[in-house]
Amino acid sequence: MISLFACFPESIASFSPEFTVNTWNLRSLSQVPCSLGHGFRFPRQLRRLRTILTCSDSSSQSWNVPVLSSSEVIDRLKQARKGQQQFLAMYSSVVDGITTDPAAMVLPLDDHMVHRGHGVFDTAMIINGYLYELDQHLDRILRSASMAKIPLPFDRETIKRILIQTVSVSGCRDGSLRYWLSAGPGDFLLSPSQCLKPTLYAIVIKTNLAINPTGVKVVTSSIPIKPPEFATVKSVNYLPNVLSQMEAEANGAYAGIWVSEDGFIAEGPNMNVAFVVNGGKELVMPRFDNVLSGCTAKRTLTLVEQLLSKGMLKSVKVMDVTVEDGKKADEMMLIGSGVLIRPVIQWDEEFIGDGKEGPIAKALLDLLLEDMRSGPPSVRVLIPY
C-alpha cells in the first residue's frame, strides 16, 4: 500500500501539538484544526513542502524525490548519458537545430508520437561517407506520413537537406541515420487537433555494418500481425514487432515470421523474407501488398538480375507463398537494412534445404555489399563533411 506524506523541517504555528511533528499522513490533514475556524488552510511555511512516497511494506523504505533546477537536470542528463558515444548528432525541429550532446537529445513528453504513437520513421545506412538509398527511404517515410495523416513540417528537399547536414555535423562515416515525422507536441489528448505543429527528428548513430552470413533459426510468430492497412505504414507503433521478437528469442530463434490469416507468409518483425525454390533456380519473394515494402528487399530484386545474367538463377517472382512451400524451399533468407541478407537454415523444427547456408544468399549479400560501397548515384548520396 502506498501512502502520501507531507514532510516539514520544523513545527508549524497554529497547528495543535500532536500535529507539529516532522512527518504527517496527508489523510489526517482534514482533521487538523485551524485557529481561524474557516477549515483547513496551508500556511506559508508549506511552501517548503517536500513530498515523500512511503511504501508500507516489510522493508519500510522511503525515497526522497528532489525538485531540480534546469541546470541540475542538464547535469543529471549528462551523467546518465556518460559513455554513450554512439549518439553523434541529433536534429529537432522543436528547437530547429542540431546538437552533438547526447544529454540534449530529448523529445517533448507531450509529443503525440511519444504518448499516442502518432508518428512514422525510417532509417538510412551510412557507408564510407555515403548515405545509402536515402531518396528511397525518404520517399517511403513521406508515404507513411501521408497515410498516418501527419502534415509535413517542411518540403521534401528541405527535409533531405536537414538529414544530410545532420550526418555531416556528426562526422560519422559508417553508421545509421534514423529519422521521425510526428504530429508534434501540444497536449495529451487522443486527437492531434491541438498539436502546435508537426515535428521532424533525426539522429546519427555510430554502428558497424552487420555483415554476418551465418545461418539462423526462425519460428512462426503467434503474435497477431498488424492489419493490412497499417502493415504498409512504417509507424512507431512497434509493440507487435517487439513482442514477436521477444517470443522468438525465448524459443532460441533469431526472429519470428508472421503468417497472414489466409496462410501466406508475410514478413519478419523488421525484415522481409525470400526463398529459393525449384532446385535452387528461382527466387521467390512474398507480395508487398499487405507487408512493409522493404527498400533493401526492392533493391535486391534489382541486383538479382545479375544472377540471372550469370545463369545462377532462371527466374524471379513476387507472389503469394504458403508456409508449406516456404519450409520446403532450397534456401530461405531474411532481407533488411539491419540484417542485409541473412540465410535461414531452420524454421520451427524443420531444416531449410540441407540445413546449411545456400549459394544464392551468399551471392546476393556480396552484390548488396558491393552496391553499398560503389553503387550508382541513384542509391548513394555523398556527405559533405
Nearest of 140, 173, 136, 133 to residue 375 by alpha carbon: 133
Residue positions counted in the chain: 385
Nearest of 206, 225, 249, 241 to residue 117 by alpha carbon: 241
* One-character DSSP codes across 343-378: EEEEETTEESTTSS--HHHHHHHHHHHHHHHH--TT
**CA–centroid distance for 303 within its chain:** 28
Say which residues have a Cβ less than 8 Å from residue 194's Cβ, sequence separation at least 6: 186, 187
d(CA 341, CA 70): 46
Would you tell me the crossing angle of helices 156-170 and 134-147 to the nearest 10 degrees? 130
d(CA 167, CA 172): 6
Which phi and psi (to 5°) does residue 121 adopt?
Answer: -150, 170
Pick the catalytic residue from 234, 281, 327, 328: 234
d(CA 95, CA 79): 22
Q: What sign results for the dihedral spanned by CA atoms 192, 195, 200, 202? A: negative
* One-character DSSP codes across 236-270: S--HHHHHHHHHHHHTT-SEEE-B-TTSBB---SS
d(CA 7, CA 328): 69
Eight-class DSSP state of 22:
S
| Grid coordinates given for 183 | 504530429
SS3 292: coil
Does residue 369 contact residue 211 with C-beta atoms inside 8 Å? yes
Question: Is 149 annotated in the active site?
Answer: no
Any idea which residues carry the catalytic annotation? 234
